[in-house]
Structure 1
Amino acid sequence: MFITYWSGANHMPDGGDVILYLLVLPAAFLLLVWAVAKARTALAAAAAAKAAAAAAAPAPVAATAEPGPPPERRWTLAIVATALRSPFGADAGSLLEQLKAQSLRLPLDSELVNDQDMPILAGRIADVQDEETREIFETWQQQHFPEQGPMYLDDAHWRSLALAADIARELGDRLQWHPLLEEYREAPRHQQDAVGLPHLHLLVLLPPTWAGEQRLQAAHWLGELVCRQGWPAEKLNVLPAAAGENAHPLLHLDRLIATSRDARSQQPSPYLSSSYLAMVIAAQSNLDPQIVQAWQQAKQLLQGAQSIGKSPGEAAAGLILADTTQALAMGTTDPVLLHRASLGRHEQSVDQARRLNGELLIQLAQGALRDAAIAPEQLSLLVSDGDYRASRTDEIMKLGYAVLPELDLGSQCVKLGATCGSAGLATALSALVLAHAATDESGEPSLCVCNEDAHQRAVVALSRAPAIPAQAASTPDPATPAASPASSVPAPATP
């Protein structure tokens, strides 16, 4: 090679060139080839010896497996029925399809204006019977709490109560499908307990600006509406959480799952649980001039030249939850299971944070999928209560990149708050109702992600119930008592 090079370049090599290029370099090249071959032979021999030693050695004791989540984290409740009220209708399936098609737009609301007296975008539900609801409730309140004066609530709060009443009546009608209800009604008074009709645990979530006593009174009134639809009043328990802490709606639902069974009994299958029945109702209206003013001062209102923000809205949603065997007995074919929720909190408001890394939401989603034993690639839809603010969108994008790389966030992700307006806790529960509609329709798992709040974050998975075993196909044993919600309240773990 060098002789050819020197000939073409008209170079006359001297003695040094001959020694270096014709003797030293070829010898070094041959030594390198020999060294590589020798090393490969040595490595192959070492690998063969190691394999032979491993084959001859006795089998080692199996290492202790990494502990999985505790059994309580695998508990579920079946969703028997749902109800929804939104600015674009009361049909969850139809609303979900329109959200996927991105065909919905909020209109300008002439009753809500900004500080320049210009109408803003808002999600208003038509034909809300707030005045009629106010008259009915105040009459009921005077009968049951005569020592207390009427509740002084603004128009938005009366609209919230009216929407909650619609949900209570609709779900109360659905309770008439219970197979033991007619037998309970016809049984003599002293034999009714033997029928085995479970207690209905009613949880009502109303705006956090209400006082605890106001929320509890409203919950009792909504319970009476349920009973007017035919459910026995003595079989209704209004949960005190309705007037308690302003916790996230998914935390309340997770507590229902956590208290639906006895933690001392190891129940690997949802079909072996005791009879349990609960109803959850959430309603909130943010169509309030004071709320609009506060959002505008915080530069969170979507208006005019400000293309990123949130719009006030109103919504209501409800679910009936039960053990899976009871759900099947109530006519729910292939019920959808609500798994344990993963919840966390940003110490600093994300509206003030300069940069959001998204790690909290990623960890919560991983924990929710682990508890539900769902692989990320099995998910067909992600439903969020968030809007188009940069922090919320960035969180969802980072979640999709890190945990759900196979999910197309353009077509398999819907943001309810962006399309229907922000209704606080009602938007969060409405997102869960939409996730249920998606899983019920497709049979594939879905993920509900709540990241609209400035601090709280929550993720829960939904999936189709496994095939029911033959021995569990019968109606729940009437002699088996329902677990009491006050028995134990383990706090949901945050991964």
Structure 2
Amino acid sequence: MSRLLRFLMWLLLTALVVWVVVIGYWKIVGVRPDVRALVLYLGVLPLGTFAVLALLKHGLANARSKASNAQADSLDAAGDDAATGGDAPAGEPATPVGILASAMQLPAGSDVASVLGAIGTPAAPQLHQKLKDGSGYPVFASWIDDVDTDAVMQAFEAAGGKDADIRRLPEEQLRAFGLMLPVTQDLLAEVVAEDWLAAPLPSVSGGRSTAPPPARLQASILLPSDWPSAIRELAVAWFVEEARAAGILAGQLVAEVIPASGSDEVWRHLSKIALPSSPPSPAPVLHLVLACHSQLGERSVQRLDQAGQLLSAMRSEGIVPGEGAAGVLLLAADADGGFALPPKAVLRAHATMRQGVSWQPRTAVQQMEDLFGQVLARAPGATSDEVKAMVSDADLRKSRATAVAGFMDRALEHLDPESDCMATGSSCGHAGIVSPLSLIALAAERAAANDQPVLAVAVAEPDQRTIALVSPPESPAADETAESSSNPQAT
């Protein structure tokens, strides 16, 4: 409907311009047109002018498309040497990170298991009843019903926030915190229930009993970088209060807010967790990483529309505004590759491409294959055949769906597209900085449930893409078998 209206508006504008020029010319030279002249100059001429302009526009579009394809072919031939990989050299083994627990709130479900089941049969986004674009039309969006923003304001007040400042917060920020509140509470409750911060039993050495220090909880709260600094301070106070209410002592907790402009900052933070601490910590450090985001507000929709990024009938490569929150509890491996606590799954390696990213189909697939090769190189012993499922954040954009499908067809052809390949984008929209954590959580849930490695593929951002390998933890029996095979003894 909007395309037809746009067509009629351009036709009318062209006719008006021609009519003004012709009638003005007739008045200047004193021409008295007959019926034939009226039909020819006020009817046929505007239609002909409009047809010529339409053909010129179509020709220019084809020329630009051919130039883009030629550039893509040249990148293919060159092997795309300009593209760079992850956060470490491709051949350097990555430090595994254990995934102890996860939680999420997304339009597809209120926990990891329900979201994983829902994205197997994704639902299309719906038109939002209140949010409109610049032309006054409803926008497609993915949202969560009944977000409890009142509970957020009460929690902020309990953390020492001023009532006037809290009520001035935009709707998007209140909704985002309303989604992160249950995620945070669930993960903190699991930390306490599993007794992960309890002091270990004392060890006896040289007749002396020494008690190792208890584990510490390092909380990282990732918020959109365009949010004001005042809300970051309030977020730290709010989290400390939630941890105290859960029963976690202040001395066992360190909390910080990390502003993130996009998913790249989230992946970089996950890379830092795998790095050994300096100086080495005598006690295990549990990393609680949280992120929330919401684009379900007039301000966010207006920004997307003005930037030409909003999905519409005329903009098929636009995004669907979404919202959500996710959190993962992580534990870096020790020097021997083991974990102080048993994880449910292991993030073995990931790699990110940040330069030369192309969404031309052939180039995109080749770049994803190269990126996957870097992941396998950083995960010793890993092969493409052992990957038994893939979860991505591909959405309704044809470029993303084509890239993911082409990559699966060439690198993971043994997977079943119906049962082994899932995507969050169609059901959840664009989740922003929440997407990396939700992909890791979903991959860990699938890996733990089926005891098979899963690939997490992030393609939602325009200028980067990331691939991560998540595997089930190795069983003690497997470790003993591997050790005995590598160290045979003579009988």
Taking the TM superposition and a 5 Å limit, the aligned residue runs for 1:340-359 are 340-346=349-355, 356-359=363-366
How far residue 216 of structure 1 moved from its aligned partner, in angstroms, is 4.5
How far residue 173 of structure 1 moved from its aligned partner, in angstroms, is 0.2
Taking the TM superposition and a 5 Å limit, the aligned residue runs for 1:58-457 are 69-70=91-92, 73-102=93-122, 104-138=123-157, 140-142=159-161, 152-179=168-195, 181=197, 194=211, 196-212=213-229, 214-239=231-256, 242-243=258-259, 247-259=264-276, 275-304=284-313, 308-322=317-331, 323=333, 325-328=339-342, 335-346=344-355, 356-372=363-379, 373-457=381-465
How far residue 320 of structure 1 moved from its aligned partner, in angstroms, is 1.0
Equivalence for 1:37: none
Residue 466 of structure 1 pairs with residue 466 of structure 2: no
Q: What SS does the corresponding residue of 2:156 show, helix, strand or coil?
A: helix
Say how many residue pairs are matched.
376
**Counterpart of 2:193 in structure 1: which amino acid?**
W
Contact 1:224 1:233 in 2 (8 A): no
Cα distance in 2 for partners of 1:441, 1:261 equals 35
Contact 1:172 1:227 in 2 (8 A): no
Cα distance in 1 for partners of 2:309, 2:160 equals 37
How far residue 256 of structure 1 moved from its aligned partner, in angstroms, is 0.6
Cα distance in 2 for partners of 1:218, 1:461 equals 31
Contact 1:277 1:321 in 2 (8 A): yes
How far residue 138 of structure 1 moved from its aligned partner, in angstroms, is 4.4
Contact 2:388 2:454 in 1 (8 A): yes
Residues 142, 291 of structure 1: alpha-carbon distance in 2 compared, 3 angstrom cutoff = closer
Question: Once the two structures are superposed, what CA deviation does each residue of 1:318-367 show, in whole Å capped at 9, x if it has no partner?
Answer: 11112564333xxx6xx21112321121357x58x798544443322221
How far residue 461 of structure 1 moved from its aligned partner, in angstroms, is 0.7
Equivalence for 1:268: none
Q: What SS does the corresponding residue of 1:444 show, helix, strand or coil?
A: coil
Q: What SS does the corresponding residue of 1:214 show, helix, strand or coil?
A: helix
Cα distance in 2 for partners of 1:367, 1:470 equals 25
**Counterpart of 1:204 in structure 2: which amino acid?**
I
How far residue 221 of structure 1 moved from its aligned partner, in angstroms, is 2.0
Q: What SS does the corresponding residue of 1:340 show, helix, strand or coil?
A: strand
Equivalence for 1:187: none
Contact 1:160 1:206 in 2 (8 A): no
How far residue 169 of structure 1 moved from its aligned partner, in angstroms, is 0.7
How far residue 369 of structure 1 moved from its aligned partner, in angstroms, is 2.3
Equivalence for 2:204: none
How far residue 84 of structure 1 moved from its aligned partner, in angstroms, is 1.0
How far residue 408 of structure 1 moved from its aligned partner, in angstroms, is 3.5
Unpaired segments ≥5 residues, structure 2: 1-88, 201-209, 481-491
Contact 2:225 2:259 in 1 (8 A): no
Superposition TM-score, scaled by structure 2 size? 0.68
Contact 1:376 1:403 in 2 (8 A): yes
- Percentage of matched positions with identical amino acids: 25
Q: Which moved more, 1:425-434 or 1:115-124?
A: 115-124
Cα distance in 2 for partners of 1:383, 1:244 equals 23
**Counterpart of 1:256 in structure 2: which amino acid?**
I
Residues 274, 339 of structure 1: alpha-carbon distance in 2 compared, 3 angstrom cutoff = farther
**Counterpart of 1:119 in structure 2: which amino acid?**
P
Q: Which moved more, 1:426-435 or 1:218-227?
A: 218-227
Cα distance in 1 for partners of 2:361, 2:372 equals 23
Residues 262, 398 of structure 1: alpha-carbon distance in 2 compared, 3 angstrom cutoff = farther
**Counterpart of 1:452 in structure 2: which amino acid?**
A
How far residue 91 of structure 1 moved from its aligned partner, in angstroms, is 2.7
How far residue 231 of structure 1 moved from its aligned partner, in angstroms, is 1.2
How far residue 229 of structure 1 moved from its aligned partner, in angstroms, is 0.6
Superposition TM-score, scaled by structure 1 size? 0.67
Residues 358, 471 of structure 1: alpha-carbon distance in 2 compared, 3 angstrom cutoff = closer
**Counterpart of 1:277 in structure 2: which amino acid?**
L
Equivalence for 1:476: none
How far residue 285 of structure 1 moved from its aligned partner, in angstroms, is 0.5
Contact 1:121 1:312 in 2 (8 A): yes
How far residue 200 of structure 1 moved from its aligned partner, in angstroms, is 0.6
Cα distance in 2 for partners of 1:402, 1:274 equals 44
Contact 2:106 2:323 in 1 (8 A): yes
Cα distance in 2 for partners of 1:261, 1:414 equals 39
Cα distance in 1 for partners of 2:430, 2:260 equals 23
Contact 1:310 1:422 in 2 (8 A): yes
Q: Which moved more, 1:417-426 or 1:244-253?
A: 244-253
Contact 1:377 1:407 in 2 (8 A): no
How far residue 182 of structure 1 moved from its aligned partner, in angstroms, is 5.7
Cα distance in 2 for partners of 1:360, 1:227 equals 46
